[in-house]
Amino acid sequence: MIVTMKELLDEANKRNYAVVAPNAWNEDTIKAAIAAAEQEKSPLILALYPVMADIEEFGYVARKFAKESKIPVAIHLDHSDSFNQVIKAIKAGYSSVMVDRSKMPYKENVQEVKEIVKIAHAVGVTVEAELGHVGQGKDYEDTRDSGLTKVDEAVSFVKETQVDCLAVAIGTSHGVYTGDPRIDFDLLKAIKREVNVPLVLHGSSGTGDKNIKRCVEFGINKINLFTDLDLAASDKLIDYVKSKKSIRIVEANDILYNGYKEKLIENMRLVGSNNMI
């Protein structure tokens, strides 16, 4: 069934676990993610990063499979950077959108998020925004410190925008890290104490199981995931090819999506969303 992200995250916040939001982009990844969630009795946030597929097409396929499923699924637009993308997603039946204006100054970020929250809430769609900035792994050493979320700004941001959940920068980064990840758990604890909406972690891949577990323990309720799923799938295929002289396309497809699914299941167990339905 299709639900909003807010329903899933409020429940996770109450019961102290996180919901995984894997990037999916086609029928195979949508089916693999839903199959993983069904097997684990876990809620799921299917997240489309708009450069990976067409917003309308993804919405159509995701809705079809989410509707047929017994587990609650939110259909989410990840990192949207324009007003038009959000409207397109709302029209295509997404139940939630991320409005990423984290590279903008605080005031502009508030202004744009606030406007979209008003529209989205009017049609029952929930909204995530980002404050501070989670950068790219390749720039980690240069951007980690300057991007960190400020506690007082997080408090006023949530109040002013009425956003449903907040992505925070606490030392993670997107893609593959250069150097070791350094997570500021004290900062996370301080934000969690002061901010009354569920918190989101971007750049979870490569952060390490121990760090992710602690992040959930200290109040993260949504874990965004792509690179680790991507690497797990390709490693599986490479291993298989090494043991064969040739491989059929159908076989390759199955191996890739099984690799994606297995890694997703591992993460659902890690963040404690399994058996929560």
Contact 273, 221 (CB under 8 A): no
Nearest Cα neighbor of 228 from 49, 21, 12, 74 is 21
Q: What is the nearest approach in angstroms of Zn ion to the Cβ of residue 207?
A: 12
List the catalytic residues: 78
From 27-35, 185-193, 216-224, 230-238, give the range in contact with Zn ion by CB under 5 A: 216-224
For residues 45 and 23, what is the distance between their CA atoms, to the nearest angstrom? 9
Which residue is nearest to Zn ion, using beta carbons?
Answer: 202
Nearer to Zn ion among residue 144 and residue 202 (C-beta) = 202
Q: How far apart are CA 79 and CA 130, in angstroms?
A: 9
Report the 10 Å Cβ neighbour count for 232: 21
Q: Which residues pair with 168 in a beta bridge?
A: 131, 201
Shortest Å distance, C-beta 98 to Zn ion: 8
- Build a one-symbol-per-residue string for 169-208: x at contacts with Zn ion by CB under 5 A, - elsewhere: ---------------------------------x------
CB of 254 to Zn ion, least distance (A): 28
CB of 209 to Zn ion, least distance (A): 19
Residue 137 or 236: which CB sits closer to Zn ion? 137
β-strands 19-22, 220-225 pairing: parallel
Q: Which two tokens stand for residue 77?
A: 């637009």
Report whether 167 contacts 198 (CB < 8 A): no
The number of residues that bind Zn ion (CB under 5 A) is 2
Question: For the chain, how many residues are written?
Answer: 277
The reply to whether 222 sits near Zn ion by the rule CB under 5 A is no
Nearer to Zn ion, 158 or 168 (CB): 168
Q: Please give the helix or strand (H or E) that residue 128 lies within, else none.
A: strand 126-131
Please say which residue, 22 or 276, places its beta carbon nearer to Zn ion: 22
Stretch that binds Zn ion, among 60-68, 137-145, 184-192, 217-225 (CB under 5 A): 217-225
List of residues contacting Zn ion (CB under 5 A): 202, 224
